[in-house]
A and B are shown apart, each in its own frame.
Chain A
Amino acid sequence: MRILDVEKIQSSVKELCVRANYYLSEDVMNAFNESIGREESPIGREVISQLIENAKIAKEEQMPICQDTGMVVVFVELGQKVSLAGGPISEAINQGVRDAYKEAYLRKSVVADPLIRENTKDNTPAIIYYDIVPGDKVKITIAPKGFGSENMSKIKMLKPSDGIDGVIDFVVDTVSQAGPNPCPPIVVGVGIGGTMDKSAVLAKKALTRSIGSKNEKDHLRELEKTLLEKINNLGIGPQGLGGNTTALSVHVEAFATHIAGLPVAVNINCHAARHEEVIL
């Protein structure tokens, strides 16, 4: 058994939250630089160059790339040979979020109750998913999620007979309807299979993959390629002002499902596609 103090998790969460919000990750920056050469629309090119400039200013000034510093989603992969000491892990994670949002001047965007809507003033609670895995390591992935793009996400329970064409139509239609709202260029996470909730988590997890990464399975990799092409043919473009850079990447994840079902979830992320991870 390896003993790990949750204090270590707390400080890592804090550091990851600040880093994710202040620095545009390298994969997104690379995707911007590639797309600017391909973008047909002059306004589109201007928008992408503004976003590149924005990332430079944020880094220099040590300020968030976007004011919506999101609700923090945390994926924890906990090795089963690890014994956690020093208190409850969820509290440690939330304390890490609290410290980051307070000390780094990040925006507090969380309300305690969805109907009463009183701000918790420290951006907690985070949404935390735990997975128990083999080994003696702990992997923490954090993804602060902005809601301009979250609000454009959708889930649908398709019929098995709808098949791959049904999936394609639903994903492309969801992006088409979202139009300019989620701050394109976007990253699209697609979760297929499982139950309703499982497909949503798969879609969210797909967004933590790095831009341009591909699914290992041939048919899903093919689907990612098809979806990206169809989405970029919609004409939406950067900020919805026209162009062929609507999505930077499409990530598909799939899981076993029931003989009667074909759940599909589409989670949209903006270009402020914040994701950071650490292995402890």
Chain B
Amino acid sequence: MGSYEISTPLTKEKVENLKAGDTVYISGTIYTARDAAHLRLVESMNNGESLPFDLKDSIIYYVGPAPAKPGKVIGSAGPTTSYRMDDLTVPLLESGLTGMIGKGKRNTIVIESMKKNKGVYFAATGGAGALIASSIKESEIIAYEDLGAEAVRKLKVYRFPAIVVIDCEGNNLYETEREKYRK
């Protein structure tokens, strides 16, 4: 289990080097999308419309931040539970998405697609919204403003802390670590 600095874009070569259990600090541009934004992204893809950002080698962060106080970049911004996006994730991976940041389990359909398309799933610490916000340096709403906290944001992050939970070979830290401590 290593500790790595990674920068965006997250190319497939970079993905292949990451292993479940690695600690990473992500710097660069990432995009936010959660439940309602996923529905719209996939709907747009199905209608052949263009997307608000290029999916190729991109990272999506599942988050609905709290509003920013005046003079602040963003409010508290920890991850939301990922399984709710499972049914809408495969088309994004098929179109070039390489990284997802959230918390909690993914289903086998998503994991299979990660293996096939070379994707990686990171967990950020759920409930550490204030800590994570301090790694977000810029935030701009680029689509679906009407969705409020669920709008798509382009974030500039510096040393965003996360752990590789499921790597592109399907190794799953949630399963392997839990076994070690079961009594």
- Interface residues of chain A, those whose CB is within 8 Å of chain B, are 40-41, 43, 47, 50-51, 53-55, 57-58, 61-69, 105-109, 117, 119, 121, 148, 151, 179-183, 233-237, 239-244, 270-272
Q: Which of B9-17, B48-56, B89-97, B121-129 contacts A (4 or more CB under 8 A)?
A: B121-129
A235 to B81, CA, bound (A): 20
Interface residues of A, dominant DSSP: loop
Whether A235 pairs with B75 at a CB distance below 8 angstroms is no
Chain B residues near A272: list those with CB within 8 A. 127
Question: B121 → chain A, closest Cβ, in Å?
Answer: 12
- Which residue of chain A has its CB nearest to the CB of B134? A57
Whether A239 pairs with B103 at a CB distance below 8 angstroms is yes
Known pairs A63-B76, A66-B76, A237-B177; A51 contacts B125 (CB<8 A): yes
Whether A66 pairs with B129 at a CB distance below 8 angstroms is yes
A119 to B149, CA, bound (A): 10
Chain A residues near B66: list those with CB within 8 A. 63-64, 67, 69, 105-107
Partner of A180, one of B63, B64, B104, B131: B104
Q: How large is the interface on B (under 10, 10 to 19, 20 to 34, 35 or more residues)?
A: 35 or more
B111 CB within 8 Å of chain A: no
From A181, A243, A244, name the one whose CB has the most chain B CB atoms within 10 angstroms: A181
Whether A66 pairs with B127 at a CB distance below 8 angstroms is yes
Known pairs A43-B163, A107-B67; A61 contacts B177 (CB<8 A): no
Partner of B81, one of A57, A58, A148, A237: A148
Known pairs A151-B81, A240-B104; A235 contacts B130 (CB<8 A): no
- Which residue of chain B has its CB nearest to the CB of A69? B66
Question: B108 → chain A, closest Cβ, in Å?
Answer: 15
- Which residue of chain B has its CB nearest to the CB of A148? B81
B173 CB within 8 Å of chain A: yes
Chain A residues near B133: list those with CB within 8 A. 63
- A-B CB proximity, top 7 nearest: A242-B177, A235-B182, A183-B126, A235-B181, A181-B104, A58-B130, A233-B183
Known pairs A67-B63, A67-B75, A180-B103; A244 contacts B181 (CB<8 A): yes
Question: A169 → chain B, closest Cβ, in Å?
Answer: 16
Proximity bits, B142-183, A CB within 8 Å = 1, else 0: 000000110000000000010101000000011011111111
